Structure 1
Amino acid sequence: MTDDPTANDAAAFSDLIGLEFTDIEEGYSRGELDVTDRLRNPHGVLHGAVAYAMADTGMGAALYPGLGADELCATIEVKISYLEPVSEGTLVCETTVTKRGRTVAYLESDVTVDGESIARATGSYSIFES
């Protein structure tokens, strides 16, 4: 195991749900995920945990490029509101860092399908020395 959180297995969880990032830069990330049978709940709609995972992972991806070489981050809290059920399509999660302090950052994610919001999330992340 390496001390570099971006190395080797850092994308293992994203791979499990099929989340791929198409853009990551300081303060912003964009990830996409296709709805598949294995991601649906017993009612035939996307399991809420998938949208949550997209937002949480997107928040880390948006924050990480702006961290110093000796800094790490960890989720303090993510709050999500589910706006519409989804049973098919490609989800897009766009995340922005809205405020970054010395020890805490605040972020927002919008999860959409075909340009329509299906979930919105806000989060706070701890920033600390490694």
Structure 2
Amino acid sequence: MVQEIRNETGTQRLVGYVVEVGVEEGSARCWLDLDERHLNRHNVLHGGIATILLDNACGTTGSLTVDRTGLAPFLSVSLNVQFLAPGLPGRVTATGKITGGGRSLKFISGELRHEDGTLIAISNGVFKRVPQEKLT
């Protein structure tokens, strides 16, 4: 069953993206309907916003390894993004996939695609689980 996470953080409210869990076992996705607020001076998706989407999809994918809701916090240790094609207006979706790691660090790759199937960007990152005692 797909569950949507909306308006969880200030960044999510500001940018307007939606996180989905339960789409595919062990993988989360993050989507955004692009409008003029998300575009750069060339009228394509701003690279920083593309990175936000990949970061959230990958971090939530890490979270799913310990929490079915995808709400257990994971922090980005590193994130490398390669931009492959312009992101044109429409819906873009980032997905994460675990590629390795252990108990506290996860290696997670991401893809950002336009609704027409165009691969806009890919990422590789290291994400760390935030211990519960650090949250209080």
* Interval of TM-score (by shorter of Structure 1 and Structure 2): 0.7 to 0.9
Distance 1:62 1:79 in 2: 16
Quickly say closer, same or farther: Cα 1:72–1:16, change in 2 above 3 A. Answer: closer
Structure 1 residues 49-77: Cα deviation after superposition (integer angstroms, max 9, x where no partner) = 11100010111111113227xx7531100
Higher RCO structure, 1 or 2 (CA under 8 Å, sep 6+):
1
Match runs of 1:20-99 below 5 Å: 20-24=18-22, 27-67=26-66, 72-99=73-100
Distance 2:75 2:19 in 1: 19
Amino acid at match of 2:26: G
Q: Aligned with 1:106: secondary structure?
A: strand
Equivalent pair of 2:113/2:120 in contact (CA under 8 Å) = yes
Question: Normalization by structure 2: what TM-score?
Answer: 0.78
Q: Does 1:129 align with 2:131?
A: yes
Identity of aligned residues (%): 24
Unaligned runs of 5+ in 2: 1-5
The 4+ residue runs of structure 1 with deviation greater than 6 A are: none
Pairs within 5 Å for 1:85-124: 85-113=86-114, 114-124=116-126
Aligned position for 2:9:
11
Q: 1:66 aligns to what SS in structure 2? A: coil
What TM-score, normalized by structure 1, do the two folds share?
0.81
- Structure 1 stretches lacking a partner, 5+ long: 1-7
- Aligned equivalents of 2:123, 2:47: Cα separation in 1: 12
Render the CA deviation track for 1:106-126: whole Å, top value 9, x for unaligned.
001100011121100011012
Give the deviation of 1:15 after TM superposition. 2.4
Counterpart contact for 1:26–1:66, Cα < 8 Å: no
Question: C-alpha separation between the residues in 1 aligned to 2:21 and 2:64?
Answer: 12
CA-based RMSD of the aligned residues comes to: 2.3
Instruction: Give the direction of change, closer, same or farther, for the CA distance of 1:9–1:74 in structure 2 (3 Å limit).
Output: same
